[in-house]
Amino acid sequence: MPWANPSNCETSGCARAAVTGRRRCQKCIDAKKLHKNRVDYQNYKSRLKDSEARKIYTSALWRKSRLNFLALNSECFYCAQEKRVEVATEVDHYVPIADGCDPWDAENWRAACKPCHSAKTASEVGFGSKG
């Protein structure tokens, strides 16, 4: 049974009503989740900064290889699987480098549009999951 008189959100400075059975309003709950995801993502990016993968992506050889691959593979691999056509702007390692693949193995590369590549990477590192 819902509360007859919902309490106010416990977040400092917030005057909205708390979600039934919770201590905060929905807007403050969502803001807290977003902040946590940003902090997690920043920690992930800082770990990546010194990794081997980061060294690969900043090399001139990678930039050339990437451009050549995209010139030959101009459509997004993932969109094509869903019968859509999008221009590929990024090269995705189908098996992530973190899982031990050879970053220079072109058989493991997939042409991807930015949204598909971002979604795949986010799911691999555990972001974007509900909860």
Q: Distance (Å, rounded) from C-alpha 52 to C-alpha 97?
A: 9
Among 110, 101, 102, smallest CA distance to 69 is for: 110
Q: How far is CA 104 from CA 73, 127, 131, in A?
A: 16, 26, 36
Same domain, 56 and 78: yes
Task: Enter the pTM of the model.
Answer: 0.55
Same domain, 46 and 64: no
Structural domain for 26, as ranges:
7-50
Domain for residue 130, yes or no?
Answer: no
pLDDT of residue 116: 94
Which residues are bridge partners to 110 per DSSP?
Answer: 92
Domain for residue 131, yes or no?
Answer: no
Q: Distance (Å, rounded) from C-alpha 23 to C-alpha 9?
A: 6
pLDDT of residue 36: 62
Q: What total number of domains does the chain contain?
A: 2
Tokens describing residue 86: 């999008």
pLDDT of residue 83: 94
Cβ neighbours of residue 26 closer than 8 Å, sequence gap 6 or more: 19
Residue-wise pLDDT tens digits, 92-104:
998 887 777 888 8
Averaged pLDDT of the chain:
79
Residue-wise pLDDT tens digits, 44-88:
656 555 566 666 766 788 889 999 999 999 999 999 999 999 999
